[in-house]
């Protein structure tokens, strides 16, 4: 384990994990022990390490094993919160969106057009509501200082343009569309890995396959899932960033998870969709579902919001009811209806919402909270991917005050993540755009691997836009420890079971 007296490498791999785990037993005192390697935990670890604190993060499975890989992968401007009167949180979202798009992760984010088709299913009143909402989104964007060259202004478009963006829309009675822009992540799990590696570069030890058990405000027992060995550690502060599992680490937390489900299609099913096709939910004036282009030439269609009481599963699943609801709703605007046979996969995630009363989950506050338990554990929970940096800053401000730590001020606002590259520097990266989108400035390193070892230039399965060099890079630098890490989190091949099976031999070979 290292402090922040010097910068470390950002490369995570089995060898570094072993070395740092061994050093934990007799290293200097830990300032901040972070439990959980989702977006929240890695964000806290980065913030802590960048303040010069000796930081250790433990994750029971892999980075982004939990909710953080099941999101809609949007960098929200916070429009939805504005509708509920939450001006502060909407502004915070828009500011964080700007930081991600322009400074910290320009390589992992992009502008996504959202189009609401004007078909008879949208009445005059609803049209006015959407248009007003989009104009409010423009105000939010301007207030956050985001230039229209990054996210253009909203506008009405003609039917021809709506069809260009969403070619499978019903032509008959299409009067055009309402268009607005938001941010989209290349992939949520890849953002988590990039933040974890940046934390490692800043000196943190980030250890996957390590579970924290018996946690107090100043100690925990760490269990190495790979060997079964345990180790007791003490720390000046302990942060619980375990999302929907937060109440297991700190029983004083009360959660009320809500499930959100997406369906996965081949891009061809939506005829080359280039926007987020946003469809009003029949009977609601303010809720929509959306279909949008996603990694590996696919389209995701989401999203539901269902109460999910009872024990929290490791991996949640879509229900038949949710699948029918998403299909029925999107079919209200499509020329040819989609059916179950078009669906190539599904995924579902649980939102870690705090219990705040008897409200339905759709109305529960989506703000984040930083809570200190009677035992002194600091829990940070709620919020979203978009605001992870602010959540981490708030959590670390609380930690520094609570544990009286001598720390530098928060630096993450201006700290680009590993691989961050934009503008002319991005143009200069010698690699295909597909690789630059995933690896930013590191794309050239991935390509070099393929140049040096021609076998690594091959696709991991026929027709998949992933080459074997990407698996090799993930094993050497991105902390992938087994095939599932490669198939389900460093890439998202595994969202389609048949593709997962076809790419498995290449994933196995990456560890050979």
Nearer residue to ligand FAD within complex by CB, 117 or 352: 352
Residue with Cβ nearer ligand FAD (55 or 242)? 242
Q: Show the binding pattern over residues 285-304: x = contacts ligand FAD (CB under 6 A), - = does not.
A: ------------------x-
Q: What is the C-alpha to C-alpha distance for residues 18 and 22, in angstroms, rounded to an integer? A: 6
351 touching ligand FAD, by CB under 6 A? yes
For β-strands 230-240 and 30-35, DSSP reports them as: parallel
Among 51, 236, 296, 384, binds ligand FAD (CB under 6 A): 384
- Candidates 107, 75, 148; CA nearest to 422 is 107
Q: What's the closest the beta carbon of residue 244 comes to ligand FAD, in angstroms?
A: 6
Q: At residue 79, what are phi and psi to the nearest 5 degrees?
A: -55, -40
Coil, strand or helix at 273: coil
The reply to whether 238 sits near ligand FAD by the rule CB under 6 A is no
User: To 5 degrees, how large is the angle CA 166–CA 167–CA 168?
Assistant: 95
Q: Which residues of 154-271 form beta strands (DSSP E)?
A: 155-157, 177-185, 205-208, 210-213, 219-224, 230-240, 258-266
Residue from 70, 134, 265, 292 touching ligand FAD (CB under 6 A): that is 70
Which of residues 77, 260, 293, 494 is near ligand FAD by CB under 6 A? 260
Q: Is 108 in the site for ligand FAD (CB under 6 A)?
A: no
> Beta strands 55-59 and 30-35: pairing type?
parallel
> Smallest distance, Å, CB 187 to ligand FAD?
12
- Tokens 């260009």 belong to 164
Q: Element (H or E) spanning 505, and its range?
A: helix 497-509
User: Distance between CA atoms of 336 and 102, rounded to whole angstroms?
Assistant: 39
Instruction: Give how many residues touch ligand FAD by CB under 6 A.
Output: 39
Contact flag: residue 490 with ligand FAD (CB under 6 A): no
Q: Which of residues 176-235 bind ligand FAD (CB under 6 A)?
A: 211-212
Distance of alpha carbon 456 from alpha carbon 472, whole angstroms:
8
Among the listed residues 58, 95, 418, 435, the single contact to ligand FAD using CB under 6 A: 58
Instruction: Count CA atoms within 13 Å of residue 491 on its CB side.
Output: 33
How far is residue 183's CA from residue 190's CA, in Å, rounded to a whole number?
Answer: 15
Residues near 71 by Cβ (< 8 Å), separated by ≥ 6? 188, 260, 349, 384, 385
Does residue number 77 form part of the binding site for ligand FAD (CB under 6 A)?
A: no
Tokens of residue 218, six digits: 């100043």
Q: Does residue 114 interact with ligand FAD by CB under 6 A? A: no
Partners of residue 280 on adjacent β-strands: 288
Considering the complex, what minimum distance in angstroms separates the CB of residue 5 from ligand FAD? 27
Binding residue for ligand FAD (CB under 6 A) from 249, 364, 370, 378? 249
The least distance separating ligand FAD from the CB of residue 352, rounded to whole angstroms, comes to 5
Q: Which of 17, 54, 73, 201 binds ligand FAD (CB under 6 A)?
A: 73
Where do contacts with ligand FAD occur on this chain (CB under 6 A)? 35-41, 58-61, 65-68, 70-74, 76, 211-212, 241-245, 249, 260, 303, 349-352, 383-386
């Amino acid at each position: 384990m290292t402090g922040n007296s010097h910068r470390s490498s950002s490369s995570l791999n089995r060898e570094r994990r072993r070395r740092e785990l061994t050093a934990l037993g007799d290293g200097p005192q830990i300032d901040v022990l972070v439990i959980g390697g989702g977006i929240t935990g890695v964000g806290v670890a980065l913030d802590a390490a960048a303040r010069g604190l000796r930081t250790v993060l433990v994750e029971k499975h892999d980075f982004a094993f939990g909710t953080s890989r099941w999101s809609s992968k949007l960098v929200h401007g916070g429009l939805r919160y504005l509708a509920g009167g939450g001006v502060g949180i909407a502004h915070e979202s828009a500011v964080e969106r700007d930081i991600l798009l322009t400074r910290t992760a320009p390589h992992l984010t992009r502008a996504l057009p959202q189009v609401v088709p004007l078909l008879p299913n949208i009445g005059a009143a609803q049209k006015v509501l959407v248009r007003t909402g989009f104009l409010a989104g423009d105000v939010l964007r301007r207030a956050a200082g985001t230039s229209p060259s990054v996210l253009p202004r909203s506008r009405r478009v003609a039917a021809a343009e709506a069809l260009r963006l969403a070619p499978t829309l019903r032509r008959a009675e299409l009067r055009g569309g309402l268009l607005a822009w938001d941010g989209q992540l290349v992939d949520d799990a890849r953002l988590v890995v990039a933040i974890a590696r940046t934390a490692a570069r800043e000196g943190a030890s980030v250890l996957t396959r390590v579970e924290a058990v018996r946690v107090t405000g100043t100690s925990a027992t760490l269990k190495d899932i790979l060997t079964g060995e345990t180790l007791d550690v003490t720390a000046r502060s302990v942060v619980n960033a375990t999302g929907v599992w937060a109440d297991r680490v700190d029983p004083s937390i009360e959660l009320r998870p809500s499930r959100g489900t997406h369906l996965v299609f081949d891009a061809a099913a939506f005829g080359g969709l280039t926007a987020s096709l946003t469809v009003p939910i029949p009977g609601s004036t303010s809720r929509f579902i959306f279909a949008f282009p996603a990694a590996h030439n696919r389209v995701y269609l989401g999203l539901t919001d269902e109460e999910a009481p009872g024990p929290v599963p490791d991996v949640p699943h879509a229900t038949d009811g949710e699948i029918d609801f998403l299909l029925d709703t999107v079919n209200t605007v499509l020329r040819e209806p989609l059916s179950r046979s078009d669906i190539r996969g599904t995924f579902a995630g649980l939102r870690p919402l705090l219990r705040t009363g008897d409200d339905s989950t759709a109305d529960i506050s989506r703000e984040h909270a930083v809570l200190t338990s009677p035992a002194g554990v600091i829990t940070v929970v709620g919020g979203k991917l978009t605001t992870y940096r602010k959540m981490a800053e708030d959590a670390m401000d609380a930690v520094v005050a609570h544990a009286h730590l001598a720390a530098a001020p928060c630096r993450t606002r201006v700290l680009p993540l590993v691989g961050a590259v934009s503008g002319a520097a991005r143009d200069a990266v010698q690699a295909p755009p597909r690789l630059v989108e995933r690896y930013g400035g590191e794309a050239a390193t991935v390509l070099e691997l393929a140049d040096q070892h021609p076998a690594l230039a091959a696709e991991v399965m026929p027709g998949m836009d992933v080459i074997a060099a990407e698996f090799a890079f993930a094993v050497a630098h991105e902390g992938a420890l087994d095939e599932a890490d490669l198939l389900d989190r460093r890439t998202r091949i595994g969202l389609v079971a048949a593709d997962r099976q076809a790419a498995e031999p290449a994933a196995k070979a990456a560890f050979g």
